[in-house]
A and B are shown apart, each in its own frame.
Chain A
Amino acid sequence: MMNAMEQNINHHLTADILMGYAAGALPEAFNLMVATHVSLCDMCRAEVESYNAVGGEMLAQEPSGDVALAPGSFAATMALIAGGAVDDAPVARVAGSILPGPLQDYVGGDLETVKWRGIGLGVKQAILPTSREASARLLFIPAGTAMPDHGHNGIEMTMVLQGAFQDEDDCFVRGDVEVADSDTHHTPVADIHEDCICLAVTDAPLQFRGLIPKIAQRFARI
């Protein structure tokens, strides 16, 4: 089961993010972004696997004499094996959903399961359960609607799942990720043809310009 690979992805994750995923150094929300993007993007998948290989070589080069196993370690492991595999398989994922598998795991189902909350101008969001160092949320932006202009304290990554959006410089379609940092001030606008659904992750609260968005921000946790 999997989504058809998106052939039109032009905006990818950065090398430090992909390496951070392989090294296990990212906040959970960023890991969710990487797993979701890689589900649609062969190029970034291969790059993650290459960075995994760096970890594998580091492990292979660990001196073995440094660490002793506990007595009976092997027997204990064989007992674990005899006890059977822990079933950690994720709940059944829906094929052909606009939500790639890792996102379905966090939503707890397909798109109709998402608990949207309006945050003004028809824009809706659903915050996903991740650790607190960074946050992940789904955004629903009606076709043709502008997101409030906002700056960033940290890194923000926004990946298109449905529809498309444009900012001053570029157009982003399904699978594309916009990576913004504290120097970025932009006004993304959802494409007119279809409502836009995105996954957005950030390691800092967004700063909205203008009073109303600021008040909304306090209540909407964005």
Chain B
Amino acid sequence: MNKDGDKRMLWVGHMIRIRDDQDQAAFAELFQHFAPRVKGFLMKSGSDASLAEECAQEVLATCWHKAHMFDPARASVATWIFTIARNRKIDVLRKQRHPEPEDLAWGPEEEPDQADVIALQQESELLGQAIAQLPAAQRSLIEQAYFGDLSHSEIARETGLPLGTIKSRIRLALERLRHAMK
């Protein structure tokens, strides 16, 4: 695994130390890395700086409290934090409930297979590379869809967005998830 792949596994390790040992040093590193990004995400979504700060703190506190829910065979740490931040954005900025699907029966109680964890983390790395290599205009469209205020009909009008390589990565990730869910 290359350097970025190692970094993902490092964050996974941090989450496990937070979950198992309430490791504050691991949490401090996670916080330093992700809290500014979550704050930036919320500001791009239309929040002012002080509300974004407050929400970023809440999102990271949730990471601590819900560390036992994190399943590294299904998501990278960044993805998991993104979903928490997204839900917080809907709660606070849109003042709406965010309906959540039922949990899978095979919850994260059982320690996932290490091979599945590595495969998923590598897959998310490749997805990240595909996104990073997109032409600026296309990347900006995705950023608007996820961070900005592109409405659903605008997303639909872009007919799935110019995803290209991303779509093939998503298909692979999909296959892996389906495999993991069997």
Contacts and interface: CB of A to CB of B under 8 A. Distances in A.
Q: Are A and B interaction partners?
A: yes
A68 B87 CA distance: 22
B122 interface: no
Interface in B30-45: 31-41, 43
A55 B82 contact: yes
Contacts of B173: 46, 49-50, 53
A17 B155 CA distance: 9
B160 A49 contact: no
A49 B147 contact: no
Contacts of B99: 28, 31-32, 34-36, 102, 105-106
A199 B155 CA distance: 24
Contact of B155 (A25, A52, A57, A130): A25
A1 to B, nearest CB: 7
Contacts of A52: 75, 79, 82-83
Query: By CB atoms of chain A within 10 A, which of B50, B78, B105, B181 has the most?
Result: B78
Contacts of A105: 97, 99
A45 interface: yes
Interface in A102-141: 102, 105-106, 130-131
B128 A57 contact: yes
Contacts of A30: 152
Contacts of A51: 170
B127 A80 contact: no
B115 interface: no
A49 B177 contact: yes
Q: Which secondary structure dominates chain B's binding surface?
A: helix
Given A43-B178, A45-B101, A59 B57 contact: no
A56 interface: yes
Nearest to B40: A67
A142 interface: no
Interface residues of B, number: 76
B28 interface: yes
A57 B85 contact: no
A73 interface: yes
Nearest to A26: B152
Contacts of B61: 77, 80-81
Nearest to B167: A15
A202 interface: no
Query: By CB atoms of chain B within 10 A, which of A30, A42, A77 has the most?
Result: A77
A7 to B, nearest CB: 13
Contact of B151 (A1, A25, A35, A102): A25
A81 B159 CA distance: 42
B110 interface: no
Nearest to A47: B174
Contacts of A130: 96
A26 B142 CA distance: 15
B41 A62 contact: yes
A23 interface: yes
A25 B153 CA distance: 9
A130 B90 CA distance: 13
Query: By CB atoms of chain A within 10 A, which of B97, B104, B142 has the most?
Result: B97
B124 A53 contact: yes
Contact of B97 (A28, A42, A64): A28
Interface in B106-147: 123-124, 127-128, 131-132, 142-143, 145-147
Given A24-B87, A49-B74, 7 more contacts: A20-B156, A42-B181, A53-B75, A56-B81, A57-B128, A59-B82, A62-B41
Interface of B: 24, 28, 31-41, 43, 50, 53, 56-58, 60-62, 64-66, 74-76, 78-83, 85-87, 89-90, 94, 96-105, 123-124, 127-128, 131-132, 142-143, 145-147, 150-152, 155-156, 159-161, 166, 170, 173-174, 177-178, 181
